[in-house]
Amino acid sequence: MKTRLNPLHVSVLLLTTAVLVVACTPSERLEPVHPSLPEVTPSYRTAVDQIFDIQFPSELEAPHHDQRAELGRVLFHDRMLSQNGAVSCNSCHLQSHGFAEPKALSLGLRRELTERNASHLVNPGSQFAYFWDGRADDLTTQVTMPIENHVEMGFRSLDGLASRLAQLEYYSPLFTAAYGDPEPSLERIQDALSTFLRCMVSCHSPADEAFAEAMDEFWDPWGVTNGTLTLNGLSSLEKQGFELFHGEAQCANCHGGPHFNGWGMDFADIGLDASTEEPDPNTVNNFGLFGGWGPTAMKVPSLRNVALTGPYMHDGRFETLDEVLDHYSHGIQDVPSLDGRLRNWNSFGGDEIFIGPNLPALGNEAAAPIRLNFSPSERAALKAFLHSLTDFNFIQDERFSNPFNPPS
Ligand code: HEC
Ligand code: HEC
């Protein structure tokens, strides 16, 4: 005789299974939320003007480029990329803050603090070094370093990451669209995330619009400072700030180039802390071309969107741009590793060998730190210029926003 399950038996069975599942579930349960994406994948090929062109055409022409970027968008915002499901990349890199976090240090997956201030992300494809100390030089492999970092996202083994994603059903159509089959692998995760980051192009701030109109094909701030080019799109205060930045205030000696980041490859110790220790000969900036390669030298950050990305510096010590300007105005400390560009070579009277205005002296003593002592109007102009670098298109662009709804 066949035994048949009657509906009552079935529901008792289901109930018991459900109770067992709940009882076995650890208290910190991973709860994936499905992303909601537009029906048609948008183009991630941002049209950039020649002077801002930071994407290599070969990358843009990669097959399924936009689908790869879109997969990267989902990965960037997915908490399932942290070992316990507590944080995603955008926990510390918030779009509304220019992809920085408005805290000096950030909390990682187990609520431990990061060692440094979360970098803001802007035009990552225009850089040649990543992290404040520049310890990574390849964006494709850099993007999974935060996932492995024990404070940030805590995945001990990146193999575990691919198997985690294989269990999340919403990834299978995304991987298929991007790579032809649903299999997640470390290489694909790195490729998709770094493609997304390379597409984070910000080039539509009010200042950008004015540069594009005035400078035509190549980056020529000197054309503006010597009066042959006019930045019509900026207010007179912003223009005055641009000129100070590229002139007397000497900011462009380090924050030069169209991304205001020293062309993505400059480092400097800007004398934030007075040192009570004996100078270590290895940190004295005597021989570097720009004087910036010692352990205390930090990457020159891009100043795009800087009005949104506070607090500032590698440790988030300054809350406001005013505090930053106080530092450059009169706060630079005379430490041996101070970058040569922040010393006043006009007052140079020691017995060093002077080898050029932007180069450090050879000798044990160096010229004193610069004291720019900004007047109130110079300060207002510099601030106005820094504010004109805010690209609201970028921070509101849906292609870079959180697709998890409710936000993961
Ligand atoms: C818990 C906070 C946190 C999380 C989560 C996090 N980051 Fe970061 N991120 C940081 C901090 C802090 C730094 C600066 C670290 C340093 O310089 O030592 C940083 C730096 C970076 C940089 C370097 C930027 C530059 O201009 O040098 C990139 C790129 C980056 N993160 C991408 C990511 C990606 C992609 C993810 C997700 C896979 C991620 N981050 C997750 C905190 C975080
Ligand atoms: C000698 C090179 C140099 C010069 C000159 C210089 N900077 Fe910087 N700037 C840096 C470096 C390096 C950092 C990061 C330092 C750190 O965190 O230790 C920085 C950081 C900043 C920051 C904080 C950005 C952030 O994301 O935290 C701002 C704002 C800034 N600089 C503005 C200026 C202005 C305005 C001037 C001109 C008055 C100027 N800088 C001159 C090298 C320089």
For 243-274, write each residue's pLDDT tens digit.
999 999 999 999 999 999 998 888 999 999 98
Question: What region does 124 belong to: left with phi over 0, alpha with psi -120 to 50, or beta?
Answer: alpha
pLDDT at 174: 98
Give the span between the Cα atoms of 210 and 46, in whole angstroms: 19
pLDDT at 367: 79
Looking at the CA of residue 76, tell me the nearest atom of ligand 1.
37
Half-sphere exposure of 287 (CA within 13 A, CB side): 4
Ligand 2 contact via 342 beta carbon (within 6 Å)? yes
Pocket test for ligand 1, best of 92, 312, 400 (most atoms within 8 A of CB): 92
Mean pLDDT of 188-194: 97
Ligand nearest, relative to CA of residue 300: 2
Q: Residue with the nearest Cα to atom 19 of ligand 2?
A: 300
What percent of the chain has pLDDT above 70? 79
Distance 55 CA to ligand 2 centre (A): 25
Ligand 2 contact via 254 beta carbon (within 6 Å)? yes
Do residues 362 and 286 make contact, with C-beta atoms less than 8 angstroms apart? yes
Q: What integer best gives the mean pLDDT of the chain?
A: 84
Give the span between the Cα atoms of 200 and 343, in whole angstroms: 35
Give the span between the Cα atoms of 66 and 199, in whole angstroms: 9
Q: Residue with the nearest Cα to atom 20 of ligand 2?
A: 313
Distance 73 CA to ligand 2 centre (A): 30
Looking at the CA of residue 342, tell me the nearest atom of ligand 2.
1
Ligand nearest, relative to CA of residue 147: 1
Ligand nearest, relative to CA of residue 301: 2
pLDDT at 250: 94
271 vs 352, which has greater pLDDT? 271
Distance 274 CA to ligand 2 centre (A): 17
Mean pLDDT of 218-236: 93
Ligand nearest, relative to CA of residue 131: 1
Distance 53 CA to ligand 2 centre (A): 23
Q: What is the pLDDT of residues 18-58, one digit of tens each?
A: 433 333 344 455 667 899 999 999 998 875 554 555 555 66
- Highest-confidence range of 197-201, 346-350, 396-400, by mean pLDDT? 396-400
Burial call 3-31: b when 16+ CB within 10 Å, e when fewer: eeeeeeeeeeeeeeeeeeeeeeeeeeebe
pLDDT at 335: 85
Neighbours of 168 (CB within 10 A): 16
Ligand 2 contact via 161 beta carbon (within 6 Å)? no
Neighbours of 290 (CB within 10 A): 21
Q: Which residues line ligand 1 (CB under 6 A)?
A: 76, 81, 87, 89, 91-93, 106, 108, 114, 116, 118-119, 121, 124, 127, 130-132, 142-143, 146-147, 152-153, 193, 197
Ligand 2 contact via 309 beta carbon (within 6 Å)? yes
Q: What is the pLDDT of residues 62-77, one digit of tens each?
A: 889 999 999 999 999 9
Ligand 2 contact via 381 beta carbon (within 6 Å)? no
pLDDT at 285: 42
